[in-house]
Amino acid sequence: MCKSEDFEKCDYRSEGKMGFKFLGRVKKLKSSILKTNAWLLIIRAIVTALVWASAVQLVGIWLIRGPSLFKVCPPCTQLELPAHAELAKLPIPIALPPKRVYKNNGYLMVSCNGGLNQMRAAICDMVAIARYLNVTLIVPELDKNSFWAASEFQDIFDVDHFIASLRDEVRILKELPPRVRKRAVYSLPPISWSNISYYFHQILPLVQKYKVVHLNKTDARLANNGLPLEVQKLRCRVNFHALRFTSQIEEIGRKLVRILREKGPFLALHLRYEMDMLAFSGCSHGCNNDEEEELKRMRYANPLWKIKDINSEMKRLEGLCPLTPEETALVLVALGIDHNVQIYIAAGEIYGGNRRMESLKSAFPNLVRKETLLEPSDLRLFPNHSSQRAALDYLVSLESDIFIPTYDGNMAKVVEGHRRFLGFKKTVLLDRRLLIGLIEQFSSGSLSWDEFSSIVKEAHADRMGSPKKRVSIADKPKEEDYFYSNPHECLQLLDEPLRST
Ligand SMILES: *[C@@H]1O[C@H](CO)[C@@H](O)[C@H](O)[C@H]1NC(C)=O
Ligand SMILES: *[C@@H]1O[C@H](CO)[C@@H](O)[C@H](O)[C@H]1NC(C)=O
Ligand SMILES: *[C@@H]1O[C@H](CO)[C@@H](O)[C@H](O)[C@H]1NC(C)=O
Ligand SMILES: *[C@@H]1O[C@H](CO)[C@@H](O)[C@H](O)[C@H]1NC(C)=O
């Protein structure tokens, strides 16, 4: 299912190994009396090192010059879509940074769990942790058991760019060096939402004792707040610069954006209404009896989904369910979204199919999805790789003129944060609890359409991804704003000062 690609264009690992061999050789030579061929050996080693260094520089420049989808757009304050959308610009090429020299305390292995964007955040955290513990990070292993993902790191991310672009911070290897591979690995799941002092005081001693420590679960991530500024900045650097999708994913992502842009501005709707989401969350509002049964069966059959007995209606009224396609249509119309705009559905297969998409389709006839925009041959490049397809949706969502997620999962949060970084690009953060209440009132006739629409607009006027400080709540990390949805330490602030609400 997960075919790994051939990414041996530039193997930094060999360069590292070479360095070790070279040092070992010098030591041996020092202890023995210089033989006639010793000088020859040293010269050969130095020449090899020089050739490697320049090859790495060249490849690094090539990697960084590669076009990227990222662009910075001026902040948008109106809901109207901009008339002229700029095409992505090439970044200014920069040379590879020099390697950071530090005394290695040991090796950190990491297994990420969860969907693509949960793993993305975890990777950023783990790089920051490895950097401040002065250890060597082994390229993180992606989740292979989760429902949502089943890929290798190099199927999703450009692994050579990841390693090379962070070399001034931390040494990253594709696998453990042979010398330490034989050692027993100490495995543990780190404590959720810890700050960096936990890693200094609890994890570093383990690394020093065992040499190889494996963090086998990473949804237990770094705290949102209370971390040194340089740690926060490094998390951003990994997220926004070092983590780049493979060139194949980037290329198809660019193609999608190009096709959309040719027809004008577009809105990306992260319509989280796939079967797995509904089965997992137990949200079945609007489904028929057979569908409800099917969702329930799927939930009970999955041992990873611990909560089985769920009251869908209660959960919905609390604002804890993704909006249904019908609810979404009402809300988009109420917000005053132009009915002619292209709406890109950034999602997998919508549960219930065309029947559930009817109201959205009749309100917004220009609904498109990657399956309708791309050739089957493009999509065949990503057979059943949910993470790769999610990566395409990520890229299109990032570039969209307006991004609207119908649920606040990890993709919604990480894309929101990335769009803030790209210049506070408009992300409409729906207040689902309020909306469900209003929709109930509107459906029962106690609110007129005009009242409904004006309350919806007013309630979201200040939920557009504009400059704000992250809300922090001591001891309640799950309730405070997530670092990756608003990494305010890393944002280029506009003229106005940060507002704290
Ligand atoms: C990491 O390395 C830096 C620079 O060599 C040093 O100042 C720092 O104390 C080291 N920290 C640890 C935890 O080893
Ligand atoms: C992680 O390691 C701990 C300790 O070795 C073990 O008890 C636990 O089952 C492991 N968790 C996973 C997800 O592998
Ligand atoms: C880090 O966490 C520890 C305990 O987990 C706490 O005592 C300490 O105050 C925290 N430090 C910061 C800067 O928040
Ligand atoms: C891909 O998905 C289709 C439909 O969901 C399924 O029939 C097929 O067996 C899957 N292929 C692989 C290689 O998993």
Tell me the DSSP string of 138-179.
EPPBPPSSSSS----HHHHB-HHHHHHHTTTT-EEESS--HH
- Which atom of ligand 1 is found nearest the CA of 101? 5
The whole-angstrom separation of Cα 172 and Cα 185 is 18
Q: Is 468 in the pocket of ligand 2 (CB under 6 A)?
A: no
Q: Is 51 in the pocket of ligand 2 (CB under 6 A)?
A: no
Spatial neighbors of 418 by CB under 8 A, at least 6 apart, are: 239, 240, 398
What residues does ligand 1 touch, defined as CB less than 6 Å away?
Answer: 102, 105, 133-134
- The pLDDT value given to residue 73: 35
Q: Is 206 in the pocket of ligand 2 (CB under 6 A)?
A: no
Give the ligand with the smallest distance to the CA of 101: 1
- Three-state DSSP class for residue 35: coil
- The pLDDT value given to residue 93: 57
Q: Is 202 in the pocket of ligand 3 (CB under 6 A)?
A: no
Q: Residue 469 Cα, ligand 3 centroid: separation in angstroms?
A: 21
Our measurement of the distance from residue 390's CA atom to the centroid of its chain's CA atoms, rounded to an integer in Å, reads 10
- The pLDDT value given to residue 14: 32
Q: Is 192 in the pocket of ligand 3 (CB under 6 A)?
A: no
pTM (predicted TM-score): 0.80
Q: Output helix, strand, coil percentages for the chain, rounded to the nearest 5.
A: 45, 10, 45
Spatial neighbors of 360 by CB under 8 A, at least 6 apart, are: 325, 326, 328, 329, 332, 343, 367
Sign of torsion, CA 93 99 105 110?
positive
Q: What is the pLDDT along the chain (501 residues), one digit of tens a residue?
A: 322 322 222 222 333 333 333 333 434 434 443 444 555 555 565 555 554 555 445 444 433 333 333 333 333 334 555 444 444 444 555 678 899 999 999 999 999 988 899 999 999 999 999 999 999 999 999 987 665 556 889 989 999 999 999 999 999 999 999 999 988 999 999 999 999 999 999 999 999 999 999 999 988 789 999 999 999 999 999 999 999 999 999 999 999 999 999 999 999 999 999 999 999 999 999 999 999 999 999 999 998 888 999 999 999 999 999 999 999 999 999 999 999 999 999 999 999 999 999 999 999 999 999 999 999 888 888 765 688 889 999 999 999 999 999 999 999 999 999 999 999 999 999 999 999 999 999 999 999 999 999 999 999 999 999 998 999 999 899 999 999 999 999 997 655 455 544
- The pLDDT value given to residue 115: 87
Q: Is 195 in the pocket of ligand 3 (CB under 6 A)?
A: yes
- The pLDDT value given to residue 4: 32
- The pLDDT value given to residue 85: 42
Q: Residue 204 Cα, ligand 1 centroid: separation in angstroms?
A: 12
Q: Residue 195 Cα, ligand 3 centroid: separation in angstroms?
A: 6
Q: Is 197 in the pocket of ligand 3 (CB under 6 A)?
A: yes
- Which atom of ligand 2 is found nearest the CA of 188? 2
Token duo for residue 338: 């132009």
Q: Residue 143 Cα, ligand 2 centroid: separation in angstroms?
A: 14
Q: Is 217 in the pocket of ligand 2 (CB under 6 A)?
A: yes
Our mutation pick for probing the ligand 1 site, out of 100, 101, 103, 207, counting the most ligand atoms within 8 A of Cβ, is 103
Q: Residue 291 Cα, ligand 1 centroid: separation in angstroms?
A: 57
Q: Is 461 in the pocket of ligand 2 (CB under 6 A)?
A: no
Q: Is 189 in the pocket of ligand 2 (CB under 6 A)?
A: yes
Q: Residue 152 Cα, ligand 2 centroid: separation in angstroms?
A: 20
The whole-angstrom separation of Cα 19 and Cα 205 is 27
- Which atom of ligand 4 is found nearest the CA of 1? 13
Q: Residue 373 Cα, ligand 4 centroid: separation in angstroms?
A: 21
Q: Whose CA is nearest to atom 5 of ligand 1?
A: 102
- Which atom of ligand 2 is found nearest the CA of 217? 13
Question: Up-side HSE of residue 410: CA atoms within 13 Å toward CB?
Answer: 16
Q: Is 247 in the pocket of ligand 3 (CB under 6 A)?
A: no
- Which atom of ligand 2 is found nearest the CA of 113? 13
Q: Is 187 in the pocket of ligand 2 (CB under 6 A)?
A: yes
- Which atom of ligand 1 is found nearest the CA of 105? 14
Q: If you ran DSSP here, which 8-state letter would residue 201 be given?
A: I
Q: Output Rg (C-alpha) for the chain, integer angstroms.
A: 25
